[in-house]
Copies of this chain bind each other. A is one copy, B any other.
Amino acid sequence: MSLWHQARRSARLNPSIIREILKVTEQPGVLSMAGGLPSAETFPVEAIRAACDAVLSQAPREALQYAASEGYGPLREWVARHLAGKGMTLGPDQVLITTGSQQGLDLIGKVMVDAGAPVAVETPTYLGALQAFNPCEPIYASLAGDADGPLPGSISALPHDAPGTRFAYLVPNFQNPTGRVIPEARRSALVAAAQAARIPLVEDNPYGDLWFDEPPPPPLASRWPEGVIYLGSFSKVLTPGLRLGYLVAPPALYPKLLQAKQAADLHTPGFNQRVVHEVIGNGFLDRHVPTIRKRYQSQCAAMADALALDMPEGTEWQRPKGGMFFWLRLPAGCDAMALLPKALAAGIAYVPGAAFYAQTPGHAADPRTLRLSFVTLSPEDIADGVATLGRVLREHLDGTRDEAP
C-alpha cells in the first residue's frame, strides 16, 4: 500500500507534451517555432519600472498587504470599460481578476464540471484549457468545425437534457493552435444554437487585440451576456510574467467563482494588479498594442512567404489575420510527431498538432497537423527555419517514395 494515496482525478493530471517538447527546443542553436510565448521585444520594461516606483511610492502598504479576492477596484473598472468598448454590457462587479487567465479556466472547471459531465471543445483546442478542466474529469465532446470555426449544428447536437453539457469552450479570435478567427455570421449562428440548446459558452480571448488589418467581430459575450463567461489576459498585450488575467461572469455565477478564487490563492498579487493598472492608465495600450500588431504582422508575412516558397506540394495552411500561429496540415504520409526528432536534428522545432486534440471517442487527432509560432523569431530566422522544415519534409517524402515498391 502506497503511503500517498492519490485522488482519482490525479490520473487526469499529466505532463504537458508541449512542456516536454519545449525543454528540448530550448537547446541553444535550435530555431524554435514551437513556443506559445509572446515576443519579449514587446515588453514595456521602462513603463513597468516606472509603475513599480509609482506604486511603491504612492501606496506601498496597500500594494504589499493582503487584498480583496475580487481584485483591485480600479483595475476591475478599467476592464469593464475596456470590454464595454468591445460591445459588451457589464459592470465592474462582474469582473474577477485572476492569476493569469489559466486560473480562470481552473475556477470555471471547479465550479461547473462534475466527473463524467460533458464539456464541449473545439477540434483542435487550446491545450491549457484541457489541462485546467481535466482534474474535474469531464467527458469531452469534440465540436466538428471548418475554416470558420465550430459548426453551429455541432452545438445543437450536444447533450442538453438537464444537466447536459456544462459549457462549450471557444477561442473565437486567432485561436491557439489554428490561428483562425470566427467571422461575424458564424458567431451569430453559434450563439443562436447555444441559446436554443441552453448550453452556456466559455469565451477565451487572449489574442483578440493582436489583429493585423481589422479587429475581429464583437465577442460572443456581447450577444448573450447572461450565457457567456468571458476570459481576458494581459499576457499577450503587456507581459505574461506578471500573471494577470480576468474573467467576466454573469451575476448568477460570479459569487461561486469568487469563492473558488479565494480558496485557490486568496487573491492575485495586489502589487502586480496596481503596477499593471498604473501602466495601462492614460491610454498606454492604445499606443503600445499597435506596435505589437505591426511587429507580428511583418513576422506573419515572412512566414507566409517562406511557407509558399518552401513547403512541399500537398501542405495546407491558412494565413492568419492576427495572433501568433500558423497551423499546417502536412501532405499524406507525414506524421508531425514522428518527424519531430528529424526536425530537431536539423535545428528547428514545432509543436505536433496531436497535442491539441481532446481525447474523446470518435475523434482521433490528425497526425498530419503542426503548429508554428511566428512571433519569437526574426523574419530572417523565420525564412531559415521554414526552409529547414521544408527540406526535412521533402527528404521524408522522398524517402517514403524510395521505400515504396
| Residues of A near any B CB (own CB < 8 A) | 1-10, 13-16, 19, 36-38, 40, 43, 45, 48-49, 52-53, 56, 60-61, 63-67, 69, 98-100, 102-103, 106, 110-114, 117, 128, 131-132, 134-136, 162-164, 166, 198, 200, 226-227, 235, 239-243, 250, 252-253, 255-256, 259-260, 262-272
- Closest B residue by C-beta to A250: B4
Q: Which residues does chain B contribute within 8 Å of A56, judged by CB atoms? A: 45, 48-49, 52
Kindly list chain B residues whose C-beta atoms are within 8 Å of the C-beta of A60.
Answer: 43, 45, 48
CB distance from A369 to the nearest CB of B (A): 23
A64 partner, pick from B43, B64, B103, B255, beta carbons under 8 A? B43
Q: Which residues of chain B come closer than 8 Å to A200, judged between CB atoms?
A: 3-4
Contact indicator B45/A256 (Cβ below 8 Å): no
Give min CB distance, A241 to chain B, whole Å: 4
In the complex, the answer to whether A13 meets B64 with C-beta atoms within 8 Å is: no
Closest to A167 in B: B4
Q: Are the CB atoms of B3 and A227 closer together than 8 Å?
A: yes
Q: Which among B3, B255, B263 is the interface contact of A132 at CB below 8 angstroms?
A: B263
Q: Among the listed B5, B37, B262, which residue makes an inter-chain contact with A162, where contact means beta carbons less than 8 Å apart?
A: B5
| Structural contact, A103 and B265, CB atoms closer than 8 A | yes
28 A-B residue pairings within 8 Å (CB atoms) = A1-B162, A3-B200, A4-B252, A4-B253, A5-B162, A5-B163, A5-B166, A6-B111, A7-B117, A10-B260, A13-B110, A13-B256, A38-B65, A53-B53, A64-B239, A64-B242, A66-B235, A99-B243, A99-B265, A99-B269, A103-B264, A103-B265, A106-B263, A106-B265, A110-B135, A128-B263, A243-B266, A271-B272
Q: Within 8 Å CB of A235, what residues of B?
A: 66
Residue of B nearest to A2 (CB): B252
Nearest 6 pairs between A and B by C-beta? A40-B61, A5-B163, A64-B241, A64-B239, A13-B259, A52-B52
Give the complex CA separation of A65 and B39 in angstroms.
Answer: 9
* A13 lies within 8 A of B260 (CB): yes
Residues of B within 8 A of A69 (CB): 19
A66-B37 CB under 8 A given contacts A243-B268, A263-B131: yes
Closest to A105 in B: B263
Are B259 and A15 closer than 8 Å at their CB atoms?
yes
